[in-house]
């Protein structure tokens, strides 16, 4: 019998995939997974010993803000993607609220040209406006586009479609799943006076749970009316969970590590502006409700909502301080710590950051550790204990809301299309990310 040969062989790791968990070898040819199983007699150009480690499908962070073009927040596609691979993330979906806005074909093509400097594979959202809704059917089909994004409540940047007629127009043009920032703009404006100068604990009052719930109720009615699939981003309230549970046929939803881990008012008292994001981190009642959504299978994905600002910007007094926090590099260790503490299983974590993005965004060849798929792997040490620090952060913002967080479970390797780009905290080679493909636009 001829000796099996591969370009890359991952040997002796505990593979987590459709068959469950078990010690298996993984052989890679031509950037794709060629075989999984006992490959003791195989040969390869490169062999990586994964004994004692877990080999997961490549983690996808389906919500990041790297801020380029414009770079007004001193982050860019290169630095943001560098942080991603150092954190075990193999692919990202970047949001459109950049300067200029990612709302035209020229802007999308320009961003793709800039993305050649990215370390991880990538896709971009087309931003919806009152003026471009008739173009969205074409924009959502462009290579490298993961879908359309609507801001129903104002956040960082100038994208906003707050009214029912505007949202209805967007949902009526195109067929791919639409992602939405769901906070009711009318209520946000009425409640803005509740923001107390210098008091970040008032942020969840100025952007209330009621504003999030009301907007999601409106959104679900519009999705039903137009027959359009939607994806509701960064759910922050306990009350939205049972509502979304009733509409799983048409609505998928996301939760962030921040909303699952941090808790007000303590986090605002401790971190002040560093704890500020939209929608806000809320109190114990809402955090418990989000974990109930995890346990009941209501949430489809975890995204980091990575949105960096400099420490100088964050030092401004509330409410002048900007909302947003880095998160792409900490997603894996923070959530693996929840796995270690028995809040969710490792297989559920994989479902939320690998299988879920594959399923709801219909990525072509990514999101599963299976023969024929891209050889994307996140290799982790579940027993490794590390403390997350500002100094570990590779983003240009240079900080993390999880500074001092004692993590159990750590990303030790990031492999993208059969190429190891990070091992034991060191970057390898040069940036070589490419656009992610989608089944609906092949």
Q: Hey, which residues are catalytic here?
A: 305
Q: Are 253 and 299 in contact (CB under 8 A)?
A: yes
Strand duo 377-387 + 59-64: pairing: unpaired
SS (H, E, C) 377-401: EEEEEEEEEEECCHHHCCCCCCCCC
Q: Are 257 and 234 in contact (CB under 8 A)?
A: no
At 213, list the tokens.
């719930």
Sign of CA dihedral 313, 81, 55, 384: negative
Helices (H), 184-318: 185-191, 203-206, 209-226, 240-245, 257-261, 266-271, 284-295, 311-314
Produce one character per residue of 349-383: b if its CB has 16 or more CB atoms within 10 Å, e if not.
Answer: bbbbbbbbbbebbbbbbbbbbeeebbbbbbbbbee
Compute φ and ψ for 435, nearest 5 degrees.
-60, 140
At 228, list the tokens.
């359009």
The Cα–Cα gap between 211 and 242 comes to: 16
The Cα–Cα gap between 6 and 34 comes to: 8
- Expressed in percent and rounded to 5, the helix, strand and coil fractions of the chain are 30, 25, 40
Q: Please tell me whether residue 199 adopts helix, strand or coil conformation.
A: coil
Following CA atoms 89, 69, 305, 32 in sequence, which dihedral angle do they give, to the nearest 10 degrees? -20
Helices (H), 30-133: 77-86, 105-114
At 354, list the tokens.
């690998």
The Cα–Cα gap between 222 and 220 comes to: 5
Instruction: Compute the residue count for the chain.
Output: 442
> Hunting for tokens 């389906």 — which residue is that?
62
């Amino acid at each position: 019998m001829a000796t099996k040969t591969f370009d890359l062989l991952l040997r002796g790791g505990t593979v987590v995939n459709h068959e469950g968990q078990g010690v298996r070898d993984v052989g890679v040819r031509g950037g794709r997974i060629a075989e999984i199983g006992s490959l003791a007699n195989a040969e390869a150009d490169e062999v990586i010993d994964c004994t004692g480690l877990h080999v997961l499908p490549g983690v996808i962070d389906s919500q990041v803000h790297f801020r380029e073009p414009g770079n007004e927040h001193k982050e860019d596609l290169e630095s943001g993607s560098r942080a991603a691979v150092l954190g075990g993330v193999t692919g990202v979906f970047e949001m459109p609220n950049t300067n200029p806005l990612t709302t035209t074909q020229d802007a999308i093509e320009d961003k793709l040209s800039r993305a050649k400097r990215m370390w991880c594979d990538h896709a971009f959202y087309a931003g919806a406006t009152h003026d471009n809704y008739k173009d969205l059917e074409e924009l959502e089909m462009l290579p490298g586009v993961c879908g359309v994004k609507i801001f129903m409540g104002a956040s960082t940047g100038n994208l906003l479609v707050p009214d029912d007629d505007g949202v209805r127009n967007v949902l009526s043009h195109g067929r791919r799943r639409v992602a939405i920032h769901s906070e009711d703009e009318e209520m946000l404006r009425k409640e803005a006076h509740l923001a107390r100068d210098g008091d970040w604990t008032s942020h969840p009052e100025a952007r209330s749970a009621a504003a999030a719930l009301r907007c999601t109720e409106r959104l679900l009615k519009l999705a039903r009316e137009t027959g359009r699939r939607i994806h509701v981003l960064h759910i922050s309230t306990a009350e939205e969970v049972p509502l979304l549970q009733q509409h799983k046929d048409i609505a998928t939803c996301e939760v962030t590590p921040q909303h699952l881990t941090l808790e007000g008012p303590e986090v605002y008292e401790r971190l002040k502006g560093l704890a500020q994001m939209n929608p806000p981190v809320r109190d114990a009642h809402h955090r418990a409700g989000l974990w109930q959504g995890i346990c009941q299978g209501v949430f489809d994905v975890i995204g980091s909502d990575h949105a960096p600002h400099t420490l100088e910007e964050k030092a401004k007094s509330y409410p002048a301080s900007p909302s947003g926090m880095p998160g792409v590099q900490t997603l894996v260790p923070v959530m693996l710590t929840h796995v270690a503490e028995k809040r969710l299983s490792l297989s559920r974590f994989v479902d939320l950051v690998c299988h879920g993005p594959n399923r709801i965004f219909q990525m072509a060849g990514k999101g599963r550790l299976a023969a024929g798929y891209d050889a994307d792997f996140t290799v982790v040490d579940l027993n490794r204990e590390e403390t997350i620090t500002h100094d570990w952060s590779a983003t240009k913002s240079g900080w993390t809301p999880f500074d001092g967080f004692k993590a159990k479970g750590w990303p030790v390797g990031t492999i993208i299309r059969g190429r190891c780009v990070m091992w034991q905290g060191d970057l390898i080679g040069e940036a070589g990310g490419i656009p992610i493909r989608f089944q609906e636009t092949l």
